[in-house]
Amino acid sequence: MFNHLKIWRNGEMVPWKDVTVPILSHGLSRGSALFEVFGIHPGPEGPLAFRMDRHLDRLFNSMNVLGMTPGATREQIQEGVIQAVKANNVQRGLIKLMAYWGEEAVIALVLESKLDIAICAIPEFEALSLDQARPIDVCFTKWRKIRADMLPSEAKACANYLSGMLARKDAMSRGYDLGILLTADGLVAEGSIESIFMVKDNVLQTPPLGNILSSITRMSILEAAQVYDIDVKETPITPEQLQHADELFTCHSGIKVLPVKRIEDRNLDPVPGPVTAKAMDMMNRICTLQDKRFKHWFQPVY
């Protein structure tokens, strides 16, 4: 469905269908690929990237944590994003950036070569459902979040998302939209690709960093909430506390605030609740450039 698009790969714009890797590439056969996803929003003079600087910070941190060497500089990747957005005429959509070893690794487990870089600029289409906040049902999944001393949770690596896939399948098989992963200690961690927020007594709460991904959207909500006079707290959350929350919502790059209408067998009412509604309005105002206090969160890609 994307064959009409082009991908920036290692400094060149290449037709989508021609960007391939060997079946035994390290990124595929060993699951070592890294990625970042961020939004493209229309601006008055051209498309803008949402917090691209922070996403690139995290990408290079992921490579550093895993001892990998990028095949392009930060400046080259930024220019690659601009070229990909222009080539595919993206006004609203997503960037999915992949850093991976494309070379074959039949036996080798550790490679010393530089990572290939591919940048996919995808225009908005119906299935993306960008910022379409349809309230969802969530449950606790039987799968646990991998401990940070087993795989570094701060690295946005493809291998870290196998548990997320299993959690989503588990939830869907039981009639829910999303499965919530607990840590090895039994505390609330996150969803498959989502950060979790709860509201209790008008205080917005979310699990602390350590066993969860350092989500850029999560960070943005925490930073903006303080400007919007929303009380926020990063604190360990038990499943019981989450299940008895006044309000719940999730967030990720595609949908900044997604209200929860049911957790396990408990229905929440109203949905969205007042704090969630305020957070939704807050992020909508920021992402539609109505709040000039956050204009530095957007980088031109035109």
Per-residue pLDDT tens over the stretch 130-151: 877 899 999 999 999 988 888 8
At residue 5, the pLDDT reads: 96
CATH of segment(s) 136-287? 3.20.10.10
pLDDT over 70, % of the chain: 100
Q: For domain 6-128, is the CATH number 3.30.470.10? A: yes
Per-residue pLDDT tens over the stretch 288-300: 999 999 999 999 9
Distance CA 5, CA 166 (A): 30
The residues of the chain that CATH labels 3.30.470.10 are 6-128
At residue 146, the pLDDT reads: 87
Cβ proximity of 279 and 204 under 8 Å: yes
Tell me the average pLDDT across 189-193: 96
Per-residue pLDDT tens over the stretch 19-29: 999 999 999 99
pLDDT band at 152 (very low <50, low <70, confident <90, very high): confident
The residues of the chain that CATH labels 3.20.10.10 are 136-287
Greatest CA separation for the chain: 56
